[in-house]
Structure 1
Amino acid sequence: MCGRFYLDADAEFLLNYFKIKYEPKIHVPEAVIFPTQSTPVVIQSKGERRIGLMQWGLRLPKVGRPIINSRAETISSKPLFKASFDKRRCIVPANGFFEWSEFTDDKKKPKYTVELPNQPIMCMAGIYTKQKDETGEENWRFSIVTREANASMGTIHHRMPLILEASGIDLWLNPESDYDELDRLLSYDIGDLMLNLVPQNSGDFNQLTIDT
């Protein structure tokens, strides 16, 4: 799953990396991104890639906490996700994410950073939509797609974000992509990940992951 991720990149780097032509005013509010916070998200609109800030977590009536993850296995059928999966897919840039080991009897679960070896950025697949908040104001919100853990991630957790490489980004972002190709992409394995144990005295981020 994914309940915290981190991004340390300026607007110029993101525009160049994702080959975005126009230059919006974007910034990264926090190095570590928590649910409900805003972060740069890449979409495709009218045949061009665009980037802007979106809030992390979809809202569901009568559910107090945001839906921050959406399972690849059910994303094409669940009502909350289906319309977004069909036409509103996005890429969530990150340098890496945090995960807490579920394979331990310790009360304080070991925390790890998870990154891609020798890669400047991690491209997590997501979906997005516009929703009203409690005041009635509409905001763009996103959810990170998760899949079953691969071999390296499976050493600490049974799930992980769906991470794409360059060859899959165009397919994922294109609203007109073939459904069968998207279905195959949902099980894409990015390969080896770099896991680093975070010292316990480095600060505590309370674990919050909702994977629907």
Structure 2
Amino acid sequence: MCGRVVTASGPEELSEHLGVDVVVDVLDGPDYNVAPSHQLPLAWTSDEDGRRLLGTAKWGLTPSWAKDPAIGERMFNARAETVAEKPSFRAAFRRRRCLVAVDGFYEWGPTERLAGARTERGRKTRQAWYVYRADGSPLVLAGLWEQRMGLRTCSIITVPANDDLVPLHHRMPAVLEPVDWDGWLDDGDCDRSDLESLLAPADDGTLARHTVHCRVNSARNKGSELIEPVAPVGMPVAASDQGTLW
């Protein structure tokens, strides 16, 4: 799954990176710990003139038919295997696809050295990791969007994890490369199989990761220090280990 992301890149950088024609609206500022129900930056194609737009949407897709908008709180991820058929997502999959642009995302999982470890209260130890593109560019994810009663909402599509990430979780967000963006955003009558072929695990080596402080566990913490590398939970920080965690 993908339930926490970092949105640090500004609208100018994202506009240039995504080839945006018009900026509709922007985030209030950088957020290093975005949880569902908060705003994400995304790009989509205008159904009026075909221009590529950059704007924001509440994370958690509310289907157009939903009587209760709160249903969107559970719809922050869509599985690639069922997105074309599930009632909550199938209309958006056909006509309202988008690029969700983030700097990285967080995942929680055990480390090899901490497998089976427990806290003082007997709870299993979980290590927070920050995952991002190895080349340092924004991470562009396959997404869906809807607009209901003036509120734009979105969901991030997930796929099976690649070999790099499967030690942390069995799912990962669907990463789109620049060559795939036009095909994903095409609002014409796209072939379902062509779209589904874009939803695949990222090639091994595309993403990098390192362990981060447990302060990221609380979505109330928002600062840039959250993505700084730290030693794994319970391990001493040796001078020789600094900067070489991953």
Q: Partners in 1 of 2:150 and 2:104 — Cα distance?
A: 29
Instruction: Find the aligned partners of 1:63 and 1:25 in 2 and give their Cα distance.
Output: 24
Q: Give the CA deviation at 1:187.
A: 2.1
SS at match of 1:155: coil
Gaps of 5+ in 2: 119-123, 220-246
CA distance in 1, matches of 2:203, 2:197: 13
Indicate conservation of the 8 Å contact 1:57/1:67, yes or no. Answer: yes
Instruction: Report the equivalent of 1:58.
Output: 61
Could you report, residue by residue, the CA deviation over 1:132-172 in whole angstroms, capped at 9, with x for unpaired residues?
Answer: xxxxx541100000000011011211000000110111111
Residue 124 of structure 1 is aligned with which of 138, 141, 159?
141
For the Cα contact (< 8 Å) 2:43–2:54, is it kept in 1? yes
Greater relative contact order (Cα 8 A, min sep 6): structure 1 or 2? Answer: 1
Q: Which has the larger radius of gyration?
A: 2
Give the structure 2 partner of residue 199 of structure 1.
Answer: 213
Which of 164, 182, 191 aligns to 1:178? It is 191
In the aligned structure 1, how far is the partner of 2:213 from the partner of 2:138?
A: 23
Q: Contact between 2:9 and 2:30, CA under 8 Å: does it hold in 1?
A: no
Residue 42 of structure 1 aligns to a residue whose secondary structure is strand
Q: Could you tell me how far apart the structure 1 residues matched to 2:71 and 2:50 are?
A: 35
Say which structure is richer in strand.
1
Q: TM-score, normalised by structure 1?
A: 0.85
Task: Report the identity percentage.
Answer: 29
Equivalent pair of 1:163/1:190 in contact (CA under 8 Å): no
Out of 103, 111, 128, the residue aligned to residue 128 of structure 2 is 111
The alignment covers a number of residue pairs equal to 200
**Match in the other structure for 1:139:** 151
5+ residue gaps, structure 1, are 132-136, 207-212
Task: Give the Cα separation in 2 of the matches to 1:140 and 1:65.
Answer: 13
Structure 1 residue 11 displacement after superposition: 1.4
Distance 1:162 1:38 in 2: 19
Q: Which moved more, 1:144-153 or 1:40-49?
A: 40-49
**Coordinate RMSD, CA, aligned:** 2.1
Runs of 4+ aligned residues of structure 1 deviating over 6 Å after TM superposition are none
Matched, 1:39 2:40: yes
Paired residue type of 2:34: I
Change (3 A) 1:181 1:188: farther
**3-state secondary structure, aligned to 1:75:** coil
